[in-house]
Every structure is written in structure tokens, then in C-alpha cells.
Amino acid sequence: MAKKIETVAKADVPEIVVKPPTISFNIGVPPTLTPEYIYICGNIEELGAWEPTRAIRVKRSKRGTYGRTLRFPLGTEFEYKILSDTRWGAVEKGRYTEEIVNRKAVVAEEKNRLIIQVMDFRNE
């Protein structure tokens, strides 16, 4: 006696969607510096590949902070800076307007959170 083989229609099989991990940028700026938008520019394509005109725009919330959640593959390492405009003349600075090193991050978990405090921006 032959076994009966049952065919399952594709619509009956649930589709599994795997989403890449997230990284949330939570950015604070001094109360005297409150642009409507700030920008995240970095060394990877998803952050504009160091081209400020391609940087990720982040809108100011009603609380005066800036936040944006992005998706990257697990293990992604990147460097970035915060800008107040889409040009290097608006890059973040240290407390005494000194140059600062690039910020660095690694997507190490499914949900990642970066808490960033900007001290000042260059204004050229």
C-alpha cells in the first residue's frame, strides 16, 4: 500500500522574517544648541560613508533630545560623528571647542543603545 503524500500550499506555511539587530542613538545637546535636526555621519555606507550630505537626519523631540533607531548586521563596527548640519563645518566639538576623536560602536546584541552627549558644534 502506497503512502499518501500531502502537499502543503505555500500560503499555509508561516513566513519567518528575520530582522537585523537595532541600535538606538539617544543624543543630548546643550540647551543653548537646539537645531531642529542633527545628523549622524560615519565610515559605513549606512551612515553616509563620511559624506555629510548623505548623513542620517535625526529630529529633535519635544523633550529637546534627539533619537533614532537603525538596523545593522550583528557584529558591525563603525565610527561616527554628530553634526548640526550636513557639512563638516558643523561637526561636534569638545567642551572647550577642541577637536574630538571619532566615536566608535559595535553592534554586539539584538538591541543596542548609545547614549551620546554632544558638548558643542563647530560653527563655520
Delimit the domains of the chain by residue range.
37-121
CATH class of 37-121: mainly beta
The fraction of the chain above a pLDDT of 90, given in percent, is 73
pLDDT digits (tens, 9 = 90+) for 32-82: 888 899 999 999 999 999 999 999 999 999 888 999 999 999 999 999 999
pLDDT digits (tens, 9 = 90+) for 66-123: 999 999 999 999 999 999 999 999 999 999 999 999 999 999 989 999 999 999 999 8
Which of the four pLDDT bands, split at 50, 70 and 90, describes residue 1? low
Q: What share of the chain is helix, strand, coil (3-state, %, to 5)?
A: 10, 40, 50
User: Tell me, what DSSP letter sits at residue 60?
Assistant: B
Report d(CA 42, CA 53) in Å as an integer.
Answer: 11
User: Tell me, what DSSP letter sits at residue 91?
Assistant: B
Whole-prediction pTM value? 0.83
